[in-house]
Amino acid sequence: MNGMGVELLVYIYLAVCLAMIFFNIATIIISKRREKANEKRRALYTSIIRQDLISIREGKQADRRHYRYMKRNMRLQENLLVFVQVMLKLQPDFSAEMPAYLDQLSGAMDPLIAHYKKHNDPIRYAFFLYTLRVFQQMSGVTPPQVESILLDALREPNTYCRENALQAIYKSGETGLVIRALEVIDSAQINHNKKLLTDGLLSFTGNKDELMDGLWNVFESFGTEMQVVILDYIRFCAPSHSDRMLAILKDEKRSPELRFSCIRYFGKYPNKEAYPILIEMAQNTANHRWEYQAIACSSLAGYPGNETVETLKRALHVSNWYVRYNASESLTKLGASYVDLIDVFDGNDRYAREILQFQLDMKYNQQKEAVAR
């Protein structure tokens, strides 16, 4: 048997793999050395930055030699990482001096923008955007050139680049910038996770009322997905938007997702005008509307009263599992007594009985655990 072709190929593969083992070993050695070097660098940077910050505290300028040194060194990602770590460590003691220090250092930072972007390495660029975010938080300002970088970064294919840019935008506290960012994402149809967007908006550090008003002003220009993000954000934030929410809830032409968000809003912030609509939705057993019914049953937990209890009791007999589950959960939350529910327990519907019994068991166990604690 021969097979010289295979033999040669295997030899080549073998050589490459041996090279990889050497690469592994070299990486281990390099990373150990790098750690040691970083320790030294950390000590040096701490001393330099501390000196500059003390100078600023005393009303003087930071040392220009330090500035030149930093400008040269920040082009290396390792150095930038250590620099950020040192800045974060010193921040609690020098928070008042940080804005002035970063302002004096801004000349050194500007050339880095192009440097980190041109390498076409998303990890590097995402980290650089993170540093911008940290510095922006420390200085409390977002220079115009940084604004445009952040908006530009939203078009990056890498999620981390976009997310870091967005975080910096939220932390800027500037309403206009946040709205522009959402417009960029929406108009370019960038697939950024909706949950990340909603949660991110919650971290906005500026005037939230102003942001919500701004978002309402341009609400109709957004696509449905972004509109849901905005409604969800508003739901987590404030009870003072009932009128607009009610208008969307009433508008049957609107996308179901938008109306679901409004139903949830009125579950969190009970509203007299929304109540009859929720009751109607919870009673509507049309098959294609089961989602409206299920969410409405859940929202009715915030509306005590006989009509609510009767509606929820009727919903217990619906064939859809989610409707029954939400109705039973709401009844338990409303504290419906055994007497209120006796007709369900005495009735013929085993499914209604079982789901209600389960919720009552859960409530009983919670109370028991609370007493035990």
Residues lying near other proteins in the complex (CB under 8 A) are found at 1-3, 5-7, 9-11, 13-14, 16-18, 20-21, 24-25, 27-28, 77, 81, 84-85, 123-124, 126-127, 130, 159-160, 163-164, 167, 191, 193-196, 199, 321, 325, 351, 354-355, 357-358, 361-362, 365-366, 368-369, 372
The CB-of-9 to other proteins minimum distance in angstroms stands at 6
Closest to other proteins by CB, 6 vs 114, is: 6
Contact indicator for 220, 250 with CB cutoff of 8 Å: no
The CB-of-192 to other proteins minimum distance in angstroms stands at 9
Torsion angle of C-alpha atoms 315, 299, 244, 193, degrees rounded to 10: -110
The CB-of-365 to other proteins minimum distance in angstroms stands at 5
Closest to other proteins by CB, 217 vs 366, is: 366
The CB-of-294 to other proteins minimum distance in angstroms stands at 12
Closest to other proteins by CB, 2 vs 287, is: 2
Helix-strand-coil split of the chain, %, nearest 5? 80, 0, 20
Closest to other proteins by CB, 193 vs 217, is: 193
How far from 83 is each of 79, 118, 135, 361, CA to CA, in Å? Answer: 6, 21, 11, 56
The CB-of-247 to other proteins minimum distance in angstroms stands at 29
93 φ/ψ angles, rounded to the nearest 5 degrees = -85, -20
Q: How far is CA 228 from the centre of its chain?
A: 14
CA atoms within 13 A on the CB side of 75: 10
CA 275 to CA 266: how far, in whole Å? 8
Closest to other proteins by CB, 78 vs 251, is: 78
